[in-house]
Amino acid sequence: MKEKENKDQHQNQNKNSSPNPGPNQNSTQKSQVTVEMKNITKVFGNFVANDNISITVHKGEVHALLGENGAGKSTLMNLLYGIYQPTHGEIFINGQRVDLDNPSVAIGLGIGMVHQHFMLVPIFTVAENIVLGQEPLLHNLNMSLAPLDMKKAIESVEDISKKFGLTINPLTKIQDLTVGQQQRVEILKMLYRGAEILILDEPTAVLTPQEITELAKIIKNLSAQGKSIIIITHKLKEIKEMADYCTVIRRGKYIDTLHVPSCTEQDLAQKMVGRDVILKVPKKDATSGRPILKIENLKVKDNRGLLAVNGFNLEVCSGEILGLIGVDGNGQSELVEAITGLRKVESGGQVYINGAPITNKTPREVFLHKIATIPEDRQKHGLVLDFSIEENMILQTHGDPSFSSKIGMLNHKSITDFANKLISKFDIRPANHLALARNLSGGNQQKIIIAREITHNPDLLIAVQPTRGLDVGAIEYVHRSLIEQRDNGKAVFLVSLELDEVLNVADRIAVIYHGQIVAIFKADQTDENQIGVLMGGGGSGGGASGGKR
Amino acid sequence: MSSKLKNIFFVLVSILIGFVIAGVILKLGGFDPFEAYKIMFLGIFSKLSYVSYTIIKSTPIILTGLSVAFAFKTGLFNIGAEGQFIIGATATAYAGYFLNLPSYIQIPTILLIGVVAAGLWGGVAGFLKSRFGIHEVISTIMLNWIALYLQNYIVMLPGFRKPESEASFDINASGSITILENWKYSDAGVAFLDLHPLIGDFLRPPFNAGIFIAFLAALIIYYILNKTTMGYQLRAVGFNKHAAEYGGINVRKNMITAMFISGGLAGLAGSLHVMGVSKNIAILAATEGYGFDGIAVALIGGNSPLGCVLSGFLFGGLKYSGAKIQSAMEAPSEIISIMIGIIVFFMAIPKLFKILSELKLKKLSKLSKLQK
Amino acid sequence: MFSDIALILGTTLMYSTPLIFTALGGVISEKSGVVNIGLEGMMTIGAFIGATVGYFTGNPWIALLAAGSAAMVLALFHAIASIHFAADQVISGMAINFLGPGISIFLCRIFFDGTTMSLSIPLDQKIPRPLNGFFAQNSFFDLIFNQYATVYLAFVLMAIIWFVLYKTRLGLRMQAVGEHPKAADSLGISVYKIRYIAVLCSGFLAGIGGASMALSVVSNFRPTLISGQGFIALAAIIFGKWKPQGATLACLLFGGAQAFVIFLGNPQVGVNISSQLLAMIPYILTILILMGFVGRTNAPAAVGVPFEKH
């Protein structure tokens, strides 16, 4: 790799990034530097994930690390936690230069990390998860076969949870906890190890607004007790709420470090994306028509046999985008699976498309009723990754007369022609119909699905978290495609966890909570505060008030 | 290098490593590996009857290999080719003895009975998986044993068991697929073959039509997998059953279909073995290993039909000629199992080759840097 | 009547023992996240080395240790492939199943004049029966409990493994590695080290299992001695829901079915059922019971999934 002008850049950076003087709090001891990462570069193969990044964090400071998906935030923090080792650059902890060869070293230095995907063993209890790796042993025998001292483990967990105000029952199994509680266990796990520096990777992604408020309190509390906290995020609002300083990185490069109280969300957004951000997707007013999808009193059970969808009513009309917003796990997945025929509908509920009942039909029959779906997990449900682009294009239609003969022989030529047409129309790259879906970027994988589903010319398009994990360009593309469908007079049912997305794209917004619609608004007659409260189950009333506007 | 070429290269390297390590083991055991390999080579190619025997030995494992490979392609691990082979053989032997139709009806009939019976046997595992979520590895292991005892039970049935023996009666001659079986022992045949010793040599073993049927099966499987909607669906389910289900493909049905076809192929091997070679079935103390050999054949053949044919011949040749080093130099013929184990082992760790080639690249780039 | 029951129970214990050792090893390996379909091959080499070392040294205990060690060497290959080279564990295990019997018979021919059967070990050099003579001969208790030492050893091992898995640091970490290797890794636990330990232990126990067949149930090695028992042990692991006590029970069920078949096969018992049909019972039973588990799996979450460090 080219190791050019490292030094120059470093100097530039120092000029730009005005070394933080420490949070402007009254205590002077807080200005002690706990973490210093200097000129960090990390290369994977040919890919430069971090390119000469520096960051400084003080004791008692909450420091946000801001960047888009794939900007290199997590990589940088994995370096600090010893999961990866830097290709170049140095790390100092409390002024000492350190080599973080593995997480044990980092843990030993008082660094703790809460990963975005929780690192918890579901079948273990809270206490077992917390002490794992540093288990108290009976009689302090320090050997592998020494018996565990679970009593002491439970006591220690109770002690720390009291000390930091994170209440939890140490004997509960992780699989029985809510996501918010699991996050607490993760934080406790780090505190048990005496962490003074806590890294939180996208901590709010999976939380309800209430849980986010709770987390903000916990973070304040921890910083007041002298912990340094680094939050990886791309949510601007939360940075404003929680952080003292914010370092922005973009495409692996250091951009700036900002003093949070003295800048606006717009400033942060501009630094993150590198251009002025259009927060609104341009669109005409909706001209909605007849109802396409009608759901009546739908009840659906989840994998544990509990009612995840419980008396759900909704109508989606032609020419409109209906956005369903809610915190993850409120029955959205089960709802979509029930509509598309993947999950059984309990008796009493009905789903109609264009007036025809499709309740408990097979996925094939549902498809034939002109419903197309952009599934939640594109790699699991949307694509066969080991199929080529062209094979993925005919997932539902391979048996159609245009692609196969009466005796079931595939017509490869017409399949290739079809695929090539879509590849050029939707600008899928690489433009090679034989390329395996596995080798495409997330954005291009999503384009395959969108191309395929839209080409079915459905009356109803169901899009479930269609922009998950995509970069800004791809997100805009997806949103425009949805709006185009709407403008062509189709019904679009957008299921999303991102409030911003729904506010931007949808014409009507329905809020789901505990498997029921709690309210429906016109998009221009509500705001995120009102919806945020409802998403968390607040503001009772409302009920399934406005089935129709 | 394209990924296909890379894979072929990788298989060839694994085979080479197998030969080298097996050679070292022979040497350590006090045998001359070059001598052994020479005997094996000559044991296959020096006489037409040897070639003929090699083909006969290869036929069933090409088919069990196809069976396992087909299941792999559809996301299933069929350890049960063993039992499906037994069921095919048993059904064909039973039908072949009790039915006696003109050859042109008898042959397809008893063949089909064997294939369908074995297909159903495999289909059971597919059903158990799709309906009850029982992993096919476990159910087919169980079904292998049940098949073995079932065959032993059927062999011993009065009227089918050849008295005073541990075997059944032979199938009726109308069901034989051994080529020129009667003619080659007739006066005219003997006279002709005396005049043409090469042909005589080739026909001396029970050379039969099985290999041609195996080729045909490989071709059909290739077409089904790659050129038909059924194959498309089977592969979609194999690669990603969730996406297949989302796309409206009936996953359960396809699992059963896949196991039916896979079982049918293994059963075909058993049926052909009875019709072309053994002519009867006998009490088994343990499974004969056709199914397990099929797993190795499928792995070495990269799960492609053509690959299975080639690796089936390799495997058949090794097994047949391996026995000869036993008689010629008293070197244990089990060296072949060891060799196959080594080949399969190296096939399991493609990462080793990746690491080695990366190391080599690093060295090269270091060298080029030094030169600069 | 009572003596019949005692006889069946005694035979059950004897035939279950090799399976129990092997299945216990398999539980350890799978708990740590490594599928061990190579148990069959490891058992076979254990049986051969056990029989051979037993024959030449006359000491069954040395033979047992040698058998475990030999199978451990085979397990080492499986471990290297599955742990360091992220191999497909099923394929690597199948390779072991070719290697185990191949090497065993290869060596057998070298040590025993070209035959595939080892020479018999004299009765007094087999695994001893510690309770021999403790009960009156052929009394009820004698028929049940006068067993080879390996039988007791198997049950003691089950208790030890249960304790290690559920009550010790190693056990907690082993389970964590099998359930969520990334989590374990993020806490500084060496996933590789623990998996190596588990797979090697598994090999050692499978070797002991095979040897206990050759040194107690019979008194020599022959190619068909193991034929399929490794796979039965594999089924017992699943059947026993990946728990040492569960797997042991499953093995007892298989052993019991076998004992029952032997008992009914005895012409003096005079039951007129084909022994071949009876022999199917345990396998049919397994399928039936598994059908009852519908959709329930207790498999370690990460079993069969290679863990790759960056």
Cβ neighbours of residue A101 under 8 Å, at least 6 residues apart? A82, A85
Task: Name every chain B residue with its beta carbon within 8 A of the beta carbon of C99.
Answer: 337-338, 341-342, 345
Please determine, for residue A275, whether its predicted confidence score (pLDDT) is greater than 70. Answer: no
Residue in A closest to B249 by C-alpha = A364
For residue C305, is pLDDT > 90? no
Mind giving me the DSSP string for A204-264?
TTT--HHHHHHHHHHHHHHHHTT-EEEEEE--HHHHHHH-SEEEEEETTEEEEEEEGGGS-
User: Which residues on B lie below 8 Å from C297 (Cβ)?
Assistant: 133
**pLDDT at position A442:** 80
Residue C26 distance to chain B (closest CA, Å) = 14
pLDDT at residue C272 in the model: 62
Tell which of B86, B134, B145, B318 to mutate to test the C interface (max C CBs under 10 Å). Answer: B145
The answer to whether B334 contacts C105, with C-beta atoms less than 8 Å apart, is yes
Q: How confident is the model at residue A94 (pLDDT cuts 50, 70, 90)?
A: very high
Which pair of tokens denotes residue C112? 């025993």
Question: Is residue A233's pLDDT more than 90?
Answer: no
Nearest to A498 by CA among A460, A533, A467: A467
**How far apart (Å, rounded) are the C-alpha atoms in residues A467 and C188?**
35
Beta strands in C24-116 (DSSP E): none
Instruction: Label the pairing between strands A460-464 and A491-496.
Output: parallel
C306 lies in a domain?
no
Cβ neighbourhood burial of B252 (10 Å; 0-12, 13-18, 19+): middle
The side-by-side arrangement of strands in the sheet containing A321-325 is A371-374, A460-464, A491-496, A321-325, A508-513, A516-522
Q: How far apart, in Å, are the Cα atoms of B88 and each of B83, B84, B137, B175? A: 9, 6, 20, 14
Q: Please give the pLDDT value at position A23.
A: 44
The domain in which residue C255 lies consists of: 2-293
Q: Specify which of A133-137, A504-508, B267-271, C2-6 reaches the highest per-range mean pLDDT.
A: B267-271
Helix axes C149-167, C169-179, angle to 10 degrees: 70
pLDDT tens for A373-399 read: 999 888 889 999 999 999 999 999 999
Instruction: Give the list of residues 6+ apart from residue B122 with CB closer than 8 angstroms, or none.
Output: B78, B80, B84, B140, B259, B260, B261, B262, B263, B264, B266, B267
Q: How far apart are CA C208 and CA C61, in angstroms?
A: 10
Distance (Å, whole) CA C4 – CA C26:
33
CB A89 within 8 A of CB A139: no
Report which DSSP code applies to C131: T
**Which residues of chain B have a CB within 8 Å of the CB of C86?**
349, 351
Asked whether residue C52 is assigned to any structural domain, the reply reads yes
Is the predicted pLDDT of residue A4 greater than 50, yes or no? Answer: no
With respect to residue C201, please indicate whether it lies within any of the assigned structural domains: yes
Model confidence at C43: pLDDT above 90: yes
- C153 backbone φψ class: left, alpha, beta (φ>0; ψ -120 to 50): alpha
Q: What are phi and psi of C242, to 5 degrees?
A: 60, 30
Q: For residue C238, what is the nearest residue in chain B, using CA coordinates?
A: B138
Q: Are C75 and C15 in contact (CB under 8 A)?
A: no
List the one residue out of B241, B248, B221 whose CA is nearest residue B68.
B221
Rg over alpha carbons for chain C, rounded to the nearest Å, is 20
**Chain B residue nearest residue A384, CA to CA:** B240
What's the whole-number mean pLDDT along residues A246-258?
90
Question: Where does the pLDDT of residue C297 fall: very low under 50, low under 70, confident under 90, or very high at 90 and above?
Answer: low
Its pTM stands at 0.85
Q: Supply the pLDDT for residue A6.
A: 42
The SS3 of residue A318 is coil
3 state DSSP class of A348: coil
Mean pLDDT on A239-268: 88
Does residue C310 fall inside a structural domain? no
C98–B337 C-beta distance less than 8 A? yes
Could you report the per-residue pLDDT of A157-174, keeping only the tens digit for each?
Answer: 999 998 888 888 999 999
Walk along chain B (372 residues) and give the pLDDT tens digit of each residue: 467 788 888 899 999 999 999 999 999 999 999 999 999 999 999 999 999 999 999 999 999 999 999 999 998 999 999 999 999 999 999 999 999 999 999 999 999 999 999 999 999 999 999 998 888 888 998 999 999 999 999 999 999 999 988 899 999 999 999 888 788 888 888 888 888 888 888 888 889 999 999 999 999 999 999 999 999 999 999 999 999 999 999 999 999 999 999 999 999 999 999 999 999 999 988 788 899 999 999 999 989 999 999 999 999 999 999 999 988 988 899 999 999 999 999 998 888 887 887 777 777 777 766 665
Q: What gap in Å lies between CA A139 and CA A150, rounded to an integer?
A: 12
Structure confidence at residue B111 (pLDDT): 97
Backbone angles phi, psi at A432, to 5 degrees: -130, 115
Percent above pLDDT 70 for chain A: 89
Question: Is C303 part of any domain?
Answer: no
Interface of B with C in 82-111 (CB under 8 A): none
Write out pLDDT tens, residues A182-224. Answer: 999 999 999 999 999 999 988 887 776 678 888 999 999 999 9
Report CB contact under 8 Å: B138, C96.
no
- Residue C12, C-beta contacts closer than 8 angstroms, at least 6 positions apart: C252, C255, C256, C258, C259
Is A386 in contact with B242 (Cβ distance < 8 A)?
Answer: no
* pLDDT, position B285: 80
* C176 close contact with A: CB closer than 8 A: yes
User: Which of A81, A120, A121, A199 is best to mutate for the C interface (most C CBs within 10 A)?
Assistant: A121
Mean pLDDT of chain A: 85
Evaluate whether B280 touches B162 at the Cβ level (below 8 Å).
yes
Q: Which of B4, B245, B246 is the best residue to mutate to test the A interface, defined by the most A CB atoms within 10 Å of its own CB? A: B246
Name which of A53, A400, A60, A388 is nearest A198 in CA terms. Answer: A60
Is the residue at C305 inside a domain?
no
What mean pLDDT comes out for the span C97-109?
95
Whether residue C38 has pLDDT greater than 50: yes
- Residue C294's pLDDT is 53
Q: Report the complex ipTM.
A: 0.91
- Find the mean pLDDT for residues A100-127: 90
Domain B48-316 has CATH 1.10.3470: yes
- What per-residue confidence (pLDDT) applies to A279? 52
Instruction: Name the minimum distance, in Å, from the CA of C154 to any CA of chain B.
Output: 24
Q: How many domains does chain C have?
A: 1
Q: Which residues of chain B lie closer than 8 angstroms to C238, CB-CB?
A: 135, 138
Q: Give yes or no for residue A344 having a pLDDT over 70.
A: yes
Residue of C170, C172, C182 lying closest to A128 (CB–CB)? C172
Lowest mean pLDDT among A105-109, C65-69, C292-296, C304-308: C292-296
Domain presence at residue C247: yes
Domains of chain A from N-terminus onward: 2-110+196-273 (3.40.50.300), 119-195 (no CATH), 278-370+458-549 (3.40.50.300), 384-456 (no CATH)
The stretch A439-464 carries a mean pLDDT of 90
Residue type present at position A154: I
Locate the chain C residue with the closest alpha carbon to A142: C169
Domain of C201, CATH number, reads: 1.10.3470
Give the closest residue to C55 by CA, choosing from C106, C15, C111. C111
CB atoms within 10 A of CB B351: 15
C296 touches chain A (CB under 8 A): no
In the three-class reduction of DSSP (H, G, I as helix; E, B as strand; rest coil), residue A324 is classed as: strand
Q: Residue A428 gets which letter from DSSP?
A: -
Using DSSP, state whether B231 is helix, strand or coil.
Answer: helix
User: Pairing mode, if any, of strands A228-233 and A197-201?
Assistant: parallel
Instruction: Answer yes or no: do B341 and C109 touch at CB < 8 A.
Output: no
C241 interfacial to chain A (CB closer than 8 Å) = no
Which residue is closest to A361 within chain B, CA to CA? B248
How far apart are the C-alpha atoms of B303 and C258, rounded to whole Å? Answer: 37
Instruction: Flag whether pLDDT at C14 surpasses 70.
Output: yes
